[in-house]
Structure 1
Amino acid sequence: MRSGKHVQAKAKKMRRKKIERSPTQAPGQYLGYSLQTTRLLARLLDALSEHTISLEVFEDVGAEREDGTRTAEQVKSAIFSNPVSDRAEGLWKTFANWIDAVTAGALELDKTYFEIYVSKVVPAGIAKQFSDAATLEEAVSAFQEAKAILGISKKGSEPLRGISDTLRPYLAKVFEADESVISRIIFRFKLVFGSGSPVSDLAPLLKRTFVPDDMVDDAIRYSLGWVKEKTDKLLEKGVPANILVEEFRKDMISFERAHDNRTILTSYAQEPSRSEIERDLKVRQYVRQLEIIEASYGQKIMAVKDYLLSSADRTLWSAKGLVHRTSFDKFESKLVRTWENLKQQTEIALKDKSAVERGKYLYSDCGNQEVKLEGLEVPPHFTPGSFHALADDLKVGWHPEYEKNL
């Protein structure tokens, strides 16, 4: 009979075996891909004069200014290995690819800066020397020093033994390249290290921009999701995954506004012109809705003004980033629910009244409602004007049989 200790030891061994990683799994590879999204977000948050940040367009992560100046950033995880050690295949493959891109004209050398981002600090002898080169002369010297370190005495000679077969072609590409090209790449090269937690590194960038301390965690989750969704949709369409810095900032300002401590939304809309009012009186469905409940001319004028002012404010609040785009849909859903409840109450309370009278009552009752947007009070015209927008789409109506009458 086997002892209890023996059984326990066997069970423990089986549990260990179950959780061993399959050789086909590649957590490091996945981490590298997810790291690109995090770095793209960091670039968006840190953008000063950059116009566009991209994913897998001309490099893992790219930054481009309106004058055409670019930063090509290669993103590398250091969780399982050192990607910038002197004999790291990824290091020399990156430089070889940059040489090819410059030679082919895909990257304009005098308008491109080259970076390697590593998720945490690791030893980086040659890469660090390249990054520290502050002049073209120092870049040339660093290149020659790299040759000595790797045992490459002259152009075309083989490196020291011990270099892997997969690494040799990249070393050959770099050290047999035109030295004026590789030296200028080195001169424009920068090595950047993360703290070891790329997501945590986003927090100080958010604090430095527009997000209060108590909102940072939520903002990180939201912005990472926003970037992932945006780039995924672009890539699914087969178009370059370029994100405008201005678009990102507006969306993040909207997010912050949706979670701040304001109490009132200010109207920025201009009073509509007489011609705008006359146009809506002639063609709009919401005006027809008022006509079938026999609204007065003055009521129709007021309705048109409310509609136009609320439409303008909706556009201006979105453009200024004062209201998050999804909040308008939630606001309209509240209005529809309010209308449904008031309509039911009207039909019960005024069942002996005519359809027109019931419609007048329902319209007046809806117009007196105070519904908040993102928890904020809205200008007096906004809720009635939003009801008219819904009436224009026939999502709500005043006459009990408004759809049939229209």
Structure 2
Amino acid sequence: MARKSQDGANGALGQFYGYGIQEARFLHHLLRSRPGDTVALECLDDVSGGQNGSKFAEQVKSGLAHNPISDRSVDLWKTLANWLNGRRSGKIPAGTQFVLYVAQPYQGKIAQQLSDSVTRQDAHAAIAAIRKEFWGDAPNFDKRASVPETLAKHVDIVLSARENALVDIIQAFTLEQGIGAPYDEIRQEIACAPVGAENVEQILHQLTGWIRTTVFDRIEKRNPAVVSRDEFHEEYLAVVRKVDRSDTTLPSRATPPTPEAVQAEFLLEQMYLRQLHIIGAEQDVLYDAINTFLMAATDRTEWAKRGYIHRDSLVEYEAALKRAWTAKKMAVKVQMRGKPPEDFGAVLLASCLEASVPLQGKTVSTHFTPGSFHKLANALTIGWHPDFATLLERPGGIADAA
């Protein structure tokens, strides 16, 4: 009795897991959708809809208990038979793309062969090979009777179908294997968007909850469980604005450089370090300059790659830094009149490094503005010593200045 009860519980959990994967795929398709697309649950198929101008019908397999795409899997052949019947009845429109998604990274020779069949010739060849494997050589098909009944009823529908109808299905068929964790795939999809990595989990939970309540609402009102990309996108943006501080702050992706990286900067005799040498900067100032210079470089690359900022914004940002440097230089000139040029440079440097300049209207990390000033100094766009351009353009300028 206890054994039976446990088996029943495991079966119920397996069903729950299967429905959860359908929900995950539903959300995954919405995240990849474009304006005008729709995604549906349990309409044409487990998940279906219109995306990128074409319709798709997707069968979702959990693969929790067995490999659903093995060559003799009932799941595989039942899926193909259902698609054929759906096309034959008109329930599935012509031109529909067919997807078989299995959550686990399983392999299946026949499923992969069908998915790889790009041309009609490929499809005809695949059908002939599969028919021979299951039924044997025509016209006797002496292997046909040996196929188990539970499998044969689906295999027969597929292999007895009109050749062109089956070729149409195969040409429109794609096999997708997951990584064994569908929600991790969604996390990766969210992380590809311009949101802070620290907020991915909260965004996922918010969107999952919204999908569930929206689908329940549709079902309770006897409406199809269909969600448009536009209504989903509106919710997605609202969630991001609510939880993601990157709307106002650009999250740093940089870590402090290694001692080897710091030493390499000294060995390269970078121009921004030479700028500091000619104003007599102390060692801790040099080390801070290297740290901020390298970390700012990492952030610029990562923010642009992740879509946090537009590359044109960096040009505008550096122009703003140069204007700030020009204004501060004028103020320091009055303040330090009659003082040694090294002192002038030290005050100008300190004033610039304390500046707070937003990038694309957003607050940046404390190392980014100083590091960006050093980037400009490295290109001799700005400098700290009043005569930096002359001193550093002359061969041996540092030694002469010293």
Shared fold (TM-score, shorter chain, > 0.5) = yes
Give deviations 1:57-109, integer Å, cap 9, x for gaps: 11100121485x20101000111101011111111111111111111111223
Matches within 5 A, 1:155-174: 157=141, 159-160=143-144, 162-174=146-158
Letter in 1 for 2:176: V
1:84 to 44, 69, 79: 69
SS at match of 2:91: coil
Amino acid at match of 1:84: I
Q: Which residue number in structure 2 is paired with residue 190 of structure 1?
A: 174
The match for 1:32 among 18, 31, 55 is: 18
Residues 174-213 of structure 1, C-alpha deviation per residue, up to 9 Å, x if partnerless? Answer: 1111010001110110000100011111111101234321
1:198–1:65: structure 2 CA closer, same or farther, 3 Å change rule?
Answer: closer
Aligned residues: 248
Q: Which runs of 5 or more residues in structure 1 are unaligned?
A: 1-15, 265-406
- The 8 Å contact of residues 87 and 163 in structure 1, kept in 2 or not, is answered as no
Rounded Cα–Cα distance in structure 2 between residues aligned with 1:156 and 1:108: 35
Find the counterpart in structure 1 of residue 48 from structure 2: 62
Equivalent positions of 1:354-373 (< 5 A) are none
Residues 50, 62 of structure 1: CA spacing in aligned structure 2 closer, same or farther, 3 A cutoff? farther
Q: Say if 2:229 is the partner of 1:248.
A: no
Q: CA separation in 2, counterparts of 1:73 and 1:183?
A: 18
CA RMSD across the alignment: 2.6
1:139 to 2:144 alignment: no
| Equivalent pair of 1:155/1:176 in contact (CA under 8 Å) | no
The corresponding residue for 1:356 is: none
SS across alignment from 1:73: strand
Change (3 A) 1:254 1:95: same
2:219 corresponds in structure 1 to 235
Once the 2 structures are TM-superposed, how far is the Cα of residue 40 of structure 1 from its aligned partner?
0.4
Distance 1:156 1:60, change over 3 A: farther
CA contact (8 A) 1:52 1:63 kept: yes
2:38 maps to amino acid: T
Aligned residue identity for 2:151: L
Query: In structure 1, how many angstroms separate the alpha carbons of the residues matched to 2:84 and 2:138?
Result: 19
Residue 107 (structure 1) aligns with: 92
One-letter code aligned to 2:126: A
> What SS class does the counterpart of residue 238 from structure 1 fall into?
coil
Deviations 1:36-71 (A, max 9, x none): 00000010111246610110111100121485x201
Q: TM-score, normalised by structure 1?
A: 0.57
* SS class of match (2:223): coil
Matches within 5 A, 1:356-395: none
What is the rounded CA distance, in whole Å, between the counterparts of 2:13 and 2:69 in structure 1?
19
CA contact (8 A) 1:155 1:175 kept: no
Q: 1:25 & 1:140 partners in 2: Cα distance?
A: 39
When structure 1 is superposed on structure 2, of 80-89 and 231-240 the one drifting more is: 231-240
C-alpha change, 1:221 and 1:23, in structure 2 (3 Å) is: closer
Q: 2:183 aligns with which of 171, 192, 199?
A: 199
Is the 1:92–1:174 Cα contact (8 Å) retained in structure 2? yes
Partner AA of 1:77 in structure 2: S
Matched residue, 1:93: 78
Residue in 2 aligned with 1:178? 162
Instruction: After TM superposition, give the deviation of residue 29 of structure 1 in Å.
Output: 2.3
Q: TM-score, normalised by structure 2?
A: 0.57
For residues 18 and 100 of structure 1, the distance between their equivalents in structure 2, rounded to whole angstroms, comes to 36
